[in-house]
Amino acid sequence: MSARKDNRHIKREVLAEKARQYCAYRERCTHEVEEKLKALGADRATAGALITRLQTEGFIDNKRFATVFARGKFQNNRWGKVKIRAALLARRIPGHIIKEALEALDDSDYMESLQTLVEKKINELKTKNKENIRGKTAAYCIQKGYEPALVYETVNNEAL
Does this model's pTM top 0.85?
yes
* C-alpha pair distances (Å), 118 with each of 137, 154, 156: 6, 8, 10
What is the structure's pLDDT at 130? 82
Ranges of each domain in the chain: 3-60, 63-103, 107-157
pLDDT along the chain (160 residues), means of 10: 57 92 96 95 92 96 97 97 98 97 96 95 85 93 97 86
**Which listed CATH number (1.10.3720.10, 1.10.150.570, 1.10.10.10, 1.10.8.100) goes with 3-60?**
1.10.10.10
Query: Where does residue 94 fall: left (phi above 0), alpha (psi -120 to 50 degrees), or beta otherwise?
Result: beta
